[in-house]
Amino acid sequence: MSNDLPSYRDLPVRDGAPPGSSWGVWGDDDQLGCLNLLNDERTLAAVRLVRRGAVFPLGLPLDEPKPHMVWRTNPVHHILHVGHETRGFQPGGEDDPSGGLMDRDDYIDGLWLQGSSQWDGFTHIRHPEFGNYNGVPDRDIHGGPGTKLGVDQWAQRGIVGRGVLLDVKRYLEKIGTPYDAASAYQISPEELSATADDQGVSIETGDILLIHTGHLQRYLDSDLEERARMWAPESQTAPGLEVTERTIEYLWDHHVAAVAADTVGVEAASPTLGFALHPRFLTLIGMPLGEYWTLDALARDCADDGRYEFLLVSVPLNISGGVGTPPQAVALK
């Protein structure tokens, strides 16, 4: 734990702030939350973790997963052949230099910024009682000039630091704990610590914590019928962090900068659980949540070389007032 930050039990630090909130810890006008922990010194230390030059992309294609959950739909990619009308381009004649194909352009129609691998921004969830992170009023969240709390705030600094993978799936299977990557298994703080100890890695201030459950790979390996069942709102279950205040306390007291997982919500999910921790993570303590991250290849490599720490680089979309963003994240070892 850092001596510069209050413990969870000492929150809040600002008069009138909600219980268990970090509002005011980084100033009354802060829009970065726990990302403030990614300072130059920690970023430089993370860069020194790169030894082999191995790169692990951590995001799905933008048109995955299929089918999608709830109201979101998969985007449609359009490629335009510029010059058709004026130069007599005929489909199928692309290899004919006299056909008039000069260049191509493309766009994506129906792109949900939280429809594939993603970061949940601070405005994704509004706390039902206390509102938005750091007390920012609703009128200041609008996407126009002067908008606050958007992912553009993250994009303008980047998310770069020490990543730590906790391969909970492999650890639970190793010790013989009954585990199903399609269930709503709740990972306790004790299991997070035990996984880290088993891997020989510590959780340090400013870490970007990645939780490997195997859930997304289970989904990708399933046929369309099973996929639809796994993510149907009335039957959806996914493993994740234990849905208790202890989880928030654990991650805050370790002063993690952000947490991501290969699941639909980072926290355990089921029709009865809902997403009860989301308001605490996003609006009370200001901790970004990454969902649907592809972690299996990275987990295998970590198990092979015994190193579960790496440089993590994520460049969010610079879209004013963005509620969420593809992570565009890679791990470098």
For the chain, domain boundaries? 8-69+112-332, 76-109
pTM of the model: 0.92
The letter for the amino acid at 280 is R
Q: How far apart, in whole angstroms, are the C-alpha atoms of residue 316 and residue 208?
A: 15
pLDDT at res. 168: 98
Cα dihedral 266, 267, 268, 274 sign:
negative
**DSSP-based three-state secondary structure for 101:** coil
Name the CATH superfamily for 8-69+112-332. Putative cyclase (3.50.30.50)
Question: Rounded to whole angstroms, what are the CA distances from 160 to 30, 43, 263, 323?
Answer: 19, 6, 22, 20
| pLDDT tens digits for range 31-88 | 999 999 999 999 999 999 999 999 999 999 998 888 776 667 888 888 776 655 544 4
Q: What is the pLDDT of residues 142-200, one digit of tens each?
A: 988 889 999 999 999 999 999 999 999 999 999 999 999 999 999 999 999 999 999 99
Whether the CB-CB separation of 256 and 34 falls below 8 Å is answered with yes
Phi, psi for residue 82 in degrees, rounded to 5: -80, 135
> How do residues 239-252 score in pLDDT, each as one tens digit?
999 999 999 999 99
